[in-house]
Amino acid sequence: MSKQVHRILQNSFGFNPADNTHHFLVNIPRGANDPVEISEHYNWDEQTGSSPVSYTSRADGQLRVRLQRFKWETIANEVRVQLNRCLKKEGNKSGQWKVGPNLVRLDLGKELVLLAWAIEDADPALIRNAMANWQGFEPEERWWLFTQTAAASGHATMDKNIGWRKAVRYALTENPLTDLPSLPDYFQRASEAPLLASLQETHDNEV
């Protein structure tokens, strides 16, 4: 394993290729105004790391979202705290954001991408709303919303602001905040279907 790959793994958010090579990659460029890109990868190489990022419809390495830098910086710290809280509960080492590639475990990456989809085209004033609603969801709800959105409109650029992607934005940014956040009505019926239980089973097998 190269020194660079080893360093990236050491700073990751729970990703261990020995358990599962399927993961997400958050690329934080050095340029202060350059967008942050999040991609989904199925393969891992001990010498080169994540499979190449794909800007096409190819599944492995597919770019899931491109987020304006100021929006990323608005959520980055709270997301880090949220992900590390989960990792610490499991007795795992916490992660940290660094310039360059950042590896995120599959389940946590799904949750992160869901939030990024919600704010990518949203009014910046609504980002705090999105964060609060996102935090109010159960992990299973976040996984379910990611899975549905990824299947229908999950490409970073080709599927932007359409279908499920647009619905997620409205659901997280414009849904009124309550003491007990829950899935909006137009997602609720589907979330009660057997699919959600099957996603939990799939997650348990993957992680």
Q: Convert the pLDDT of each residue in 114-172 to its tens digit.
A: 999 999 999 999 999 999 999 989 999 999 999 999 998 999 999 898 889 999 999 89
For the segment 19-71, what is each residue's pLDDT rounded down to a tens digit? 999 999 999 999 989 999 999 999 999 999 999 999 999 999 999 999 999 99
**98-109 burial, b if ≥16 CB within 10 A, otherwise e?**
eeebbbbbbbbb
Question: What pLDDT score was predicted for residue 200?
Answer: 44
Residues with Cβ within 8 Å of residue 80, at least 6 apart in sequence: 95, 96, 97
Structure tokens at 99: 């310039």
Handedness of CA 113, 121, 127, 118 (dihedral sign): negative
Amino acid identity for residue 25 in this structure: L
Residue spans per domain, the chain:
3-206
pTM: 0.85
